[in-house]
Amino acid sequence: MTKEKESALGVYRILDLADSKGAYCTKLFADLGADVIKIERPEGDPGRAMPPFVDDTPHPEKSLYFLHRNAGKRGITLNLETSEGSDILKKLVKTADVLVDNSPPDYMANLGLDYPALQEINPGLVMASITEFGHSGPYKDCKGSNLVDYALSGVMITSGYPGKEPCLCPGTPAHDAASLYANIAILAALYMRGATGQGQYIDTSVHETSRLGLYPWIVPNYSYAINPDGPPPTSETRMGASIYPVYPCKDGLIRVVALTPRQWDALVRVLGSPEVLLTEEWRGFLYRIGNADDLYALVLEYTEKYTMLELFEAGKREGVPIAPILNIEDFYNSPHTKARDFFVEVDHHVAGKADYPGPPYKWTETPPRIQRPAPCLGEHNEEIYCSELGFSQRDLVALRGARIA
Amino acid sequence: MLPLEDIRVLSFGTGGVGPDSCKILGELGADVIKIESKDNLDFMRTIGPDINNIAGFNEANRNKRSFGVDSKSEKGRELVRQLIELADIIIENFRGGVMKNLGFDYENVRKLNPEIIYVSSQGFGGGGPFSDHQAYGPMISAASGMLSIWAQPDDPYPVGSNSPLPDHMASKHVVLAALAALDYRRRTGKGQFIDMAQTEVAASLVGEHYLDYTINKRVPKPMGNRSPYAAPHGCYACSGVDEWCAIAVFTDAEWRSFCDTLGNPPWIQDPGFADLLGRLQNVDELDKMIGEWTATRDAHEVMETLQAAGVAAGVVQRAPDTLADPQLQWLGAIVELDHPVTGKRLYPGVPFRMSGASPFPSIRAPLLGEHTDEICRDLLGMSEDEIKRLLDEDILHNPSNTEGTGRGMFD
């Protein structure tokens, strides 16, 4: 019998009061072994209502978004807006290392659940607050959303086909930027706690993390381009295929990154060194950007002679990065994806068995894994309320009846 | 006190993912040493007018010291091995095989330093048929399925963004991994090796679309800005050139507030728009009518008007807008740093605060080899004579023997 390896964060309990702004944060912690308890309102996390659904059947246990971003967590229901509910949260806080909260400014304070109150109960608690725009400042009470924050981030103006409406990056990039910075700050705080024994409060927002995190170079690119000798700003609009061209080939599309003269030379060799591309001027990156349409028409004739894989391999051989544009099915079925065992089977009580994207890295000592499927609404109420917090079955029934659990 | 002030990180790599992740560890207080060589430059040093004057490089390499060394020479490698013995974390994102060729792969490194935490992040990861392929951010989105759905339905082909997403999402996963491994090591004394494929990070970020395939047997198609659970949900052209405001209406209450703000014109009272289902079914007409309203208005005015009514709206900002963004100004999100070659420039700061930590440092990027001498002296215990000799032999690099390197490579 092989001994099961330890997990990296198995010693930690994380209370997850997060909605979509923090779901990815706590999912990554669950992958690394943390005991993540997702605490939902009795009516359920709004993420449960997000389509698409399994078999296109709207159902609180069938949202694909919810299933992916909450895999690995346990789940209970709890209404914090009752005094019994907030007392129960305090009981849980005593047992926890981390609390992730997404509520708007002042919400937790009004419930008597702000950090000073919780720290009194558990001085080692690390509490991370992810708001939309921050706890103070002129936008404090503004409404955010993944789309709106992506727009404000400065990245959206560069996203999408030139001349058309800017295009949202798939997934929830603004929310995930906030999640990832929360991951970083929480782990930094836990590391400090190892030395000091003290927890701390972390304050971040979707607005600042998406602006500073998704593509930090926008501000310096602009700031440097103020210099008249510098290159023109590439961060001001949608440049489409001019910097990272997309070309059709025999069986699909490829994307090419040829920035340096050496990479350009390699691309020309990949395409069979056609005379029209050997002109010295084409070696200049800025010249290529300035004449992108002409160049596109020239290169197109040659890429169409090859398959995606041929160009991918030739690019590696010659020294120019070329990537196939794979769709969701292609990536899932790619021999490389299979060789790395990226997808893992998860069996959910309602949604059934399916392959899920696994943790996006391999660890030698503490392999991450999806510990369990996303919790059904209140699935672990009995386990946590009765076995861990000492409520009786009858208490739990009463709590449910009063819409506290 | 800073979280990582007792931690030393060696940063090997190039471009975005490795450098950005080490920058963040530096902001958290770690002593980050970037190992670089003038003969094999971080490619970001090569795409501007001067190796020390490139915006992206100088952003991604803040909060680091630069150790310039010829890693192809045996003596240079010996010095790097000595630094490895003094390090807690190694992060690298070179093309697959490069670290092995230098003798700095995990198998070799762990012999020198068994407790080391070693995070290796390639486009396609280590292992598997594509592991030696080079990949930049824009190719990660392409090869991971993400780009195939990053488009409007009627675009001729997907282009995603000229910002290299998801590079800087992958780099945050690297930091998270390094910190979690460090926490584990603090408790157990055990280091480890972490192999990250940036394509898998991208796939994880769009995981729900993968479930649509594995569960519903459907290959997801691009939806542009449309949402299956919100309408209106998109960017609407405002007055001016290429000026847009994003608007997202989720609930019927938000919709009623939206209608009131527009003054309840007759078109908006069409029963077809009364509830979310109707708005989703008639979304083309809805978007057209809203576009007519926004077309004559300034994007900031649209944002302010709608936000005042409790509707999520935000200008599609450019860099100068983000500098003027009142909330980011309030938070002090942008910092100005002076640099001997570029002068004063603007950079993003740290987007979070920790109540128990000192303010995070923000230190300009190093010149190539700027800290070679002090690292040799203070960490490796070398004499001034020996340092000078190795500089003369071009085994060590510092600003005195790297000036002019890489100039003109941008053409």
Buried b / exposed e over A303-314, threshold 16 CB at 10 Å, is beebebebbbbb
Q: Which two structure tokens, joined as six digits, stand for B266?
A: 């007759």
Question: Residue B410's pLDDT is what?
Answer: 42
Look-up of token digits 């809805």: B286
B93: which chain A residues are within 8 Å (Cβ-Cβ)? none
Q: Say whether pLDDT at A78 is over 70.
A: yes
Q: Say whether pLDDT at A349 is over 70.
A: yes
Are the beta carbons of A359 and B204 separated by less than 8 Å? yes
B242: which chain A residues are within 8 Å (Cβ-Cβ)? 157, 237
Mean pLDDT of B112-117: 98
Domain spanning B8-204+332-402: CATH superfamily: Crotonobetainyl-coa:carnitine coa-transferase; domain 1 (3.40.50.10540)
Give the pLDDT confidence of A90-111 residue by residue, as tens digits. Answer: 999 999 999 999 999 999 999 9
Q: Which two structure tokens, joined as six digits, stand for A341?
A: 């065992």
pLDDT band (50, 70, 90) for residue B48: confident
A218: which chain B residues are within 8 Å (Cβ-Cβ)? 163, 319, 322
Q: Which of B4, B59, B165 has the CB atom closest to A214's CB atom? A: B165
**Of chain A residues 38-67, which have a CB less than 8 A from chain B?**
49-52, 54-56, 64-65, 67
Mean pLDDT of B379-392: 98
Q: Which of B48, B49, B155 has the CB atom closest to A161's CB atom? A: B155
B349: which chain A residues are within 8 Å (Cβ-Cβ)? 212
Q: Please say whether the beta carbons of B348 and B59 come within 8 A.
A: yes
Query: What CATH number does the domain located at B233-318 have?
Result: 3.30.1540.10
Q: Which of B176, B224, B346 has the CB atom closest to A28's CB atom? A: B176
Question: Chain B closest CA to A70's CA: distance in Å?
Answer: 11
Mean pLDDT of B200-225: 98
Q: Say whether pLDDT at B299 is over 80.
A: yes
Question: Residue A226's pLDDT is what?
Answer: 66
Determine contact: A257 vs chain B, CB below 8 A.
yes
Q: Where are the domains of chain B?
A: 8-204+332-402, 233-318
Question: Residue B50's pLDDT is what?
Answer: 86
Predicted ipTM > 0.90 = yes
Name the pairing type of β-strands B8-12 and B89-92. parallel
Are the beta carbons of A137 and B215 separated by less than 8 Å? no
In chain B, % of residues over pLDDT 90: 91
Question: Residue B140's pLDDT is what?
Answer: 95
| Peptide bond connecting B166 to the previous residue in cis, omega within 30 degrees of 0 | yes
pLDDT band (50, 70, 90) for residue B411: very low
Are the beta carbons of A328 and B353 separated by less than 8 Å? no
Average pLDDT, chain A: 94
In chain A, % of residues over pLDDT 90: 88
Question: Could you tell me which residue, B322 or B351, shows the higher pLDDT?
Answer: B351
Q: Please say whether the beta carbons of A61 and A350 come within 8 A.
A: yes
| Chain B residue with Cα closest to A358 | B204
Are the beta carbons of B169 and A145 separated by less than 8 Å? no
Mean pLDDT of A321-335: 97
Question: Residue A235's pLDDT is what?
Answer: 63
Element of type H or E holding A248: strand A246-249
Question: Residue B257's pLDDT is what?
Answer: 97
Question: Residue A195's pLDDT is what?
Answer: 94
Give the pLDDT confidence of B88-104 residue by residue, as tens digits. Answer: 999 999 999 999 999 99
Q: How many whole angstroms separate alpha carbon A99 and alpha carbon A79?
A: 16
Length of chain B: 411
Average pLDDT, chain B: 95
Q: Say whether pLDDT at B119 is over 70.
A: yes
Residue spans of alpha helices (H) in A164-245: 173-196, 206-213, 218-225
What's the predicted TM-score (pTM) here?
0.97
Q: Which of A164, A185, A343 has the CB atom closest to B354's CB atom? A: A185
| Chain B residue with Cα closest to A145 | B312
Q: How many whole angstroms separate alpha carbon B294 and alpha carbon B244?
A: 9
Q: End-to-end distance of chain A based on CA atoms, in angstroms?
A: 41
Residues of B that are catalytic: 167
Determine contact: B136 vs chain A, CB below 8 A.
yes
B132 CB burial (10 A radius; 0-12, 13-18, 19+): middle
Question: Residue B47's pLDDT is what?
Answer: 79
What is the longest distance spanned by two Cα atoms in chain B?
Answer: 85
Q: Say whether pLDDT at B242 is over 60.
A: yes
A197 CB burial (10 A radius; 0-12, 13-18, 19+): exposed
pLDDT band (50, 70, 90) for residue B409: very low
Q: Please say whether the beta carbons of A177 and A209 come within 8 A.
A: yes
Q: Sketch out chain A's domains with CATH numbers.
A: 13-214+342-401 (3.40.50.10540), 244-332 (3.30.1540.10)
Q: Say whether pLDDT at A230 is over 70.
A: no
Determine contact: B296 vs chain A, CB below 8 A.
no
Q: Whose CA is closest to B145, among B215, B207, B225? A: B207
In sequence order, what are the beta bridge partners of A249?
A252
Determine contact: B327 vs chain A, CB below 8 A.
yes
Question: Residue B136's pLDDT is what?
Answer: 87
Q: End-to-end distance of chain B based on CA atoms, in angstroms?
A: 45
For residue B81, how many other CB atoms are within 10 A of its CB?
Answer: 16
Question: Residue B134's pLDDT is what?
Answer: 87
pLDDT band (50, 70, 90) for residue B358: very high
Q: How many whole angstroms separate alpha carbon B158 and alpha carbon B142?
A: 9
Mean pLDDT of B286-291: 98
